[in-house]
Structure 1
Amino acid sequence: MTVNALLEDLPGEPAQFGLFDDVQHLAHGRTRLLLEGYRFDPERKLPLYLFNLQASDGSYVGQYHFTPAPPDLVGDTGNAGGHVDPPYRNRGHSKAAVQALAALARRHGMKNFIITCGVENEAARHALAQVGKALARPHATLHFFEIPAE
């Protein structure tokens, strides 16, 4: 599944109501995360939220997804991923998106969450290292980062 997947193509059922209803508008600095929609996986009992990133001038700059993981479901670690479109890279949008997601994670009692980036994506690796810590998990194509929510 890619971040750009249509919500209809995501696994699970359309959520009738979110486990976390306070995700309509998240922001950090000049970057806003606008809820595109979410799906609910009844087997794992977890939602997958899909956000559009918006710059302060209203431009669409990319997408991020986020799966919160409250302690009573799967422990205290959720996961996130995303991208910023090429014309908007190196402007702090990815770092701001991750910080906004950290604030959301914090509101839901999470201590941290994991985000990945491709090993060839030096800019993303640099941005994620500024807000989290690299995890030594051997993987051929991904770097793993633990982002603190506290």
Structure 2
Amino acid sequence: METETLPAPAGYKPLPEGLGFTDVLRPVYRREHNSEVSLGMYVQLSHCNMIGICHGGALMTLADIGAASAINFAREKIGPAPTLNLSFDFINAAREGDWLQTRSEQVTLKRSFGFASGVIISGEKLVCRYSGSFYQPDHDGFKGQLDKLAAMHGKD
């Protein structure tokens, strides 16, 4: 199935190329709606394991990026959010051609840390639950990456 030609659901815009490891999921889409941000993708053959379902690593990558994006969205500040911990419960399989999207259910901000939990869904089907903690550096050590982060968040 050629998923690169399928249109993303309303409001989702493609992330730009050049975002490092995120590019392995391409095409990945982002949507800001009301007070939340969501990432989405169609499962492609390259995301599947040998038994034909979406690889856990692809799901974990989508959740990681979705949770960090939710933290940045809540912070109202574009910046790096390196992952400190990420936990998963895999519930249902996703297959080639399925549309997956993240949904953050809780985001908590502390001075130097952000915490996010949520789900990845495919339609009405719950695919996995995730919970993570992320570092929110208050220094300029990541300055070279801010342009890429701004592009990811649709800010020029």
Bigger relative CO (Cα 8 Å, ≥ 6 apart): 2
Larger fraction in strand: 1
Establish whether TM, by shorter chain, passes 0.5. no
Q: Under TM normalisation by the shorter chain, which class is it?
A: 0.3 to 0.5
Normalised by the length of structure 2, the TM-score is 0.34
